[in-house]
Structure 1
Amino acid sequence: MAVKYECCNVEFWKRILIIQVLVMFAGFMSGLTLGLMSLSLVDLEVLAKSGTPRDRHHASKILPVVRNQHLLLCTLLICNAIAMEALPVFLDSLVVWWGAILISVTLILLFGEIIPQSICSRHGLAIGATVAPVVRVLVWICFPVAYPISKLLDFLLGHRHEALFHRAELKTLVNLHGHEAGKGGELTHHETTIIAGALELAEKIASDAMTHITETFCIDINSKLDRDLMNLILKNGHSRVPVYHDQPSNIIGLILVKNLLTIDLENEAPVKSVTIRRIPRVPETMPLYDILNEFQKGHSHMAVVIRHCDKTGQQSSNNNSYESARDVKVDIDGENTPRQEKLKTKMSFHLWKSFQNANNCKRGGSQSRKWSKNMYSDILEIDENSIPKLPEKEEAVGIITMEDVIEELLQGEIFDETDHHFEHS
């Protein structure tokens, strides 16, 4: 291979130095193209807010540089193209033309592509943060050429959207971060299970978590509270028991078992003589997230799941309505109304004092503006002549509780003392 300059010539060494600089610059641009463009804005924002102190520092320096990604891409490619096109020119002045092509291809492929991209693909965040000021200078130098091209790319391709994950992708990502995946993740099995359950909760509806009406323990409103019924209630171990009229599918309310502590069983009083609370009604297609929000309001931790039917008894497609069925009004101002006096006779003394104190606090407290005379009560008033029942177009198909929703979230059964008792008996 013929050399056009003597080795001792100063011009020869200048050209060798320029060739080295061009190869390093081309590799620098190629590595940054892969390293910076592979970092999504979402990843950088996550690292900037919740990464390690070192990652937060690096991400905060890179974010302003990569926000306009088309401008950054044009700048890096223009600089890389200039270096690669200038390299054969200087090589051609040193060796013959075929030698210049062979050497330039070898240098660009090895030192301008493979090695820089291998390094930047693994340490792109640290390298990008280190050279961020240099990249800013290159952007301003290439701005007259890169900016029009970047705007054209924005017009033709649109801005690059942030790559957010779908629910299924997030679930897979969480599973990969678990211990069981064998990839060094920090999440335990219980953590991944709960996160996956929260992601799946939005796709589940009331019918997926409810207890079917045929498997629900409930009592008739006309039943007598004797020892047999009380023993049956205690044996089932529920804190709330649904109350029905005529048939189990006509659930009209519920009783709190703790309210039965003051009942004299020798009198065998009917169930309708004790405090019966209203039970919310939710469509069977209602998402569990919405049901959880209703439970959080504190009116009840149990709801009856209904199915809307037409006059022929067929299931209706309109299951989007949600009726809380709370239509007992309580007068806040003034003395106790006859309705409240009637409630007082039906409630134990401590329950009535709690009810009255709550009304007094709301009337005189700082939140009195949120309360009015038409406030809804959770207490069901039983009329001897007319007992509430479900509308004709509604059919009770099951019962859902707060525990059912939490079990779907945890993706496992919740056992209390009574459940364990039955399990071992």
Structure 2
Amino acid sequence: MPNKVAMTRRRRKLRKKAGGGGIITSALLIGAFLVFVSLYTATRATRVPENARIEVASRRTIEVAGTFPVFASARERVYVAPISGRVERIVPEGTVVRVGTPVAQVINDEAASRAEPEYAAAERELRSFGLSAMINLERARDQLMSLKVERKTLEATIADCERRGDMAGLRAARRSLQRVDEGIRELSDVIASQEKKARARAGELAGQLEQKREILELATSVITADRPGLVSYRLDGYEGVIDGPDVHLLSSRLEPVSREVACPADGQQVVAGSRIFKIIDTVEMLVALPGDSEFVKGLRGRVWVRFPEFDPSRWPARVTDGHRKPGEPVILSIDAFIPGVHARRFVKAEVITGVFEGVAVPEEAVFREGRDSYVYVIRSEDAVPVKVVIGPGDGKYVIVRRGIPEGTRVVCNPWILGGQHGRYPAER
């Protein structure tokens, strides 16, 4: 028994020694690892030179975009002169009109000079006949009314003679009543005949007046708007090209080409069929992009468009032509009207396919080693490479999805630190 107790005590002592040795071993391993990391970092860290360009990583909005020469235009409806003559503008340039609003008229002065007096004469004749017929009919109706009053008087006289037994007076009254009745019948027939003749003559004169009016209208033609929009008398020959069969007339580079167009001034003589004004749709604009660009070929669905020369805003747009021929422009639709862009037509546009927000650094600060991406981060007075995961960029800045927080100082020209630090192109 004493031997067993002694053996148990020795085993406990050995276990304590072994346990203490394990803790020491673990501490030594951790220390060695930290020393290794420190030495590795020390070997990778580099003193920041004076000519290092340093920038702070900050939150930015990155746009994936391409810039192109484009042709931009609203939908337009061109109106032509229905007859030859002199153009007169009814509403001024830039007026917003509704359907049915008179915009301009074309007057054939020679035809109008002949038609206006004839129309006025026919109008006077109809008015004069109507007045004369009305006077004659009123006179005949007055006579008829007098006879009817006389008849009532005779009827009262006959009744009185019958009551008194005055046979002589009764016979005289009846003869007078017979004469009055004949007069009423004759006068009624005359009035009916006059009314019939007056209606026929009035219809004939009204027909002649209508003919004169039609001739006068042919001499003066008023053109009204058949759609709402903005009136413009400035024609450049590109009206209707972007949404019509002549879209191929636009040059492949979407640059201005010479196109002759006649734009008649107010008061100018024109021939029938001449283009005299247009109405511009103020609800939608169409933008034609060069179809030979790989960036443009990949456009689908919804995008944004910016016209930096006119407005910094991003305009939502959509790709509209799903069945275009190879090489033809790609058409985008914007639910807005930008007057300056429409007036210029040929402009520069930024087509934006994606908008991203996040911590960003200059794209030149990112370099690659193998398949990994790094940036040099300033820590104290040293530049230490840090592995990062990058996202989209716009050619100047790139989003850092993981690796460094906002406010971190980074080296923008890592090649000055030695080694092969090539520029990393941001993923689109």
Range class of TM-score, shorter chain: under 0.3
TM-score of the two chains, using structure 2 as the length reference = 0.21
Structure 1 or 2: larger strand share?
2
More contact order relative to length (CA 8 Å, sep ≥ 6): 2
Q: Highest CA radius of gyration, 1 or 2?
A: 2
Structure 1 or 2: larger helix share?
1
TM-score of the two chains, using structure 1 as the length reference = 0.21
